[in-house]
Amino acid sequence: MKNLKKTDREIASLIVAERKRQEETLMMIPSENIASKSVEEAVGSCLGNKYAEGYAFRRYYQGQEFVDQVETIAIERAKKLFGVPFVNVQPYSGSPANTAVYFALIKPGDTIMGLSLAHGGHLTHGASVSLSGSYFKSVSYGLDKNGIIDYKEVERLALLEKPKVIVAGVTAYPPLVNWKKFGEIADKVGAYLLADISHLSGLIASGVYPSPVPYVHIIMTTTHKTLRGPRGAMLMVTEKGLKKDPDLGKKINKAVFPGLQGGPHINSIAGIAVALKEASSAKYKKYAQQIINNAKKLGEVLKKNGFTLVSGGTDSHLLLVDLSNKGVIGNLAAEALEAANITLNRNAVPFDANPPFYPSGMRLGTPGITSRGMKEKEMEKIGTWITEVVEDVARIKKEMGVEFAGEKQSSVRKEIIAKSKKIKEVKKMVIALCKKFPIKDQY
């Protein structure tokens, strides 16, 4: 960063500080990962200077010879990796990509159906605070008492409400999604089935998690989670989708541009192309399997230590933990663990009695720490450290006589965390572990 340091020392110093934070922290937010230097170089390249409104070989500006090739390579690599006939790599991120699907297929007031935000869905799957829940009639399905998608309820609601689009997608759901069952339900009511695999795409690409391709019409994925690429998104149409509507790909393209976006971020698309090449390797498949192995082991450790796991465990990269029996809310647990250099996020759990901003749970995952080379042995340590920190702040909270109203106050949580000697002890061990498993430049 020699040029940046000369031009803008303030921003340069913040980037250096953030790099140090990542190096010394266990990245366990499931939607985060560590892209390779190759991906970073593509994203930070001169491609960001080029305006490329339109699609490859059909642009509105001159000077497209090389950027057309970049976008075409990204598309072809995605087609091959996921086994689909159509891909659009231009969406800026997941939310506009999902919105583009709606814009392509339905009109305001039409019905969409998705997993409830409170049960592990996403804002763009029909949440009332989102465009998806305000411009369209939104019907939400949920989980049963065992933390599994209630497919009978999904079918009942679909038959009753006749949605135009059903979204099968998750952001905080550890078990396998039954794509086949969703496909059968969508076919019964004539709905388009959109699979949002943003969290799962790297696992699916590697074959360690079931693919939705045979059962759905459209697939959306971000590219920066388990796929370990830059921030961006892709929309894919399956053979089943083209059979339902031969013009589906054209409609998706038109919705992305000019419907929602202007010129694509060619530098990000180049980064996506690099990530797709990395994800096609045998080494990456081993990585994806290790993500799941690590998540399962971590779940076993936490369960053994008295934590309640929603759905009883995991078949993917993440765990959702109900902290009710530990006597702390998600905010206190997440902030205490952050003080110990373990980052995860507070999260609502199904049927949560607490308000969304002060939820009963926490969500954590293994993609980032697996990228550093950590395996089951390290999960034993990490699970133990999480237990020690959460139980210590729960003890201090109880000794202070703090009730729920007090725990909601940031100043009170900070006071509890400041009193914990265990947090300081764990932080030292976390930093030592991170030094043993440094962030990799290449994979």
What average pLDDT does the segment 380-396 reach? Answer: 98
Contact (CB, 8 A) for 218 and 101: yes
Other CB atoms within 10 Å distance of the CB of residue 353: 8
425 is catalytic: no
Which of 124, 221, 222, 238 is flagged as catalytic? 222
As given in the structure block, the two tokens for residue 136 are 């369209």
Contact (CB, 8 A) for 390 and 337: yes
- Residue 1: the pLDDT is 87
Per-chain mean pLDDT for the chain? 97
Secondary structure tally for the chain: helices H, strands E:
19, 15
What average pLDDT does the segment 166-188 reach? Answer: 97
Instruction: Tell me: pLDDT of 128 over 90.
Output: no
352 is catalytic: no
Instruction: State whether the Cα torsion 38-371-292-140 is positive or negative.
Output: negative
- Contacts of 158-163 with CB under 8 Å at 24 or more apart are 158/113, 158/185, 158/186, 158/188, 158/189, 158/191, 159/188, 159/189, 161/111, 161/113, 161/137, 162/111, 162/189, 162/190, 162/191, 163/111, 163/112, 163/113, 163/139, 163/189, 163/191
- Residue 344: the pLDDT is 98
225 is catalytic: yes
pLDDT digits (tens, 9 = 90+) for 7-27: 999 999 999 999 999 999 999
Which of 51, 55, 135, 151 is flagged as catalytic? 51
3-state secondary structure of 219: strand
* Residues 383-413: b if buried by 16+ CB within 10 A, e if exposed: bbbbbbbbbbbbebbeeeebeeeebbeeebb
Q: In DSSP terms, which residues pair with 346 in a beta bridge? A: 362
Proportion of the chain above pLDDT 70, given as a percent: 100
Choose among 368, 363, 360, 358: nearest CA to 410: 358
- Residue 147: the pLDDT is 94
pTM of the model: 0.95
Q: How far apart are CA 27 and CA 9, in angstroms?
A: 26
What average pLDDT does the segment 313-337 reach? Answer: 97
Which of 24, 32, 40, 53 is flagged as catalytic? 53
- Residue 256: the pLDDT is 98
Which of 25, 102, 196, 388 is flagged as catalytic? 196
Q: What are phi and psi of 221, to 5 degrees?
A: -145, 145
Which of 50, 77, 164, 225 is flagged as catalytic? 225
Proportion of the chain above pLDDT 90, given as a percent: 97
Q: Give the contacts of 435 (CB within 8 A, at least 6 positions apart).
A: none
Contact (CB, 8 A) for 202 and 288: yes
Domains and CATH numbers, the chain: 42-279 (3.40.640.10), 282-436 (3.90.1150.10)
Which of 231, 277, 303, 419 is flagged as catalytic? 231
196 is catalytic: yes
pLDDT digits (tens, 9 = 90+) for 95-127: 999 999 999 999 999 999 999 988 988 999 988
Q: Choose between 121 and 211: higher pLDDT.
A: 211
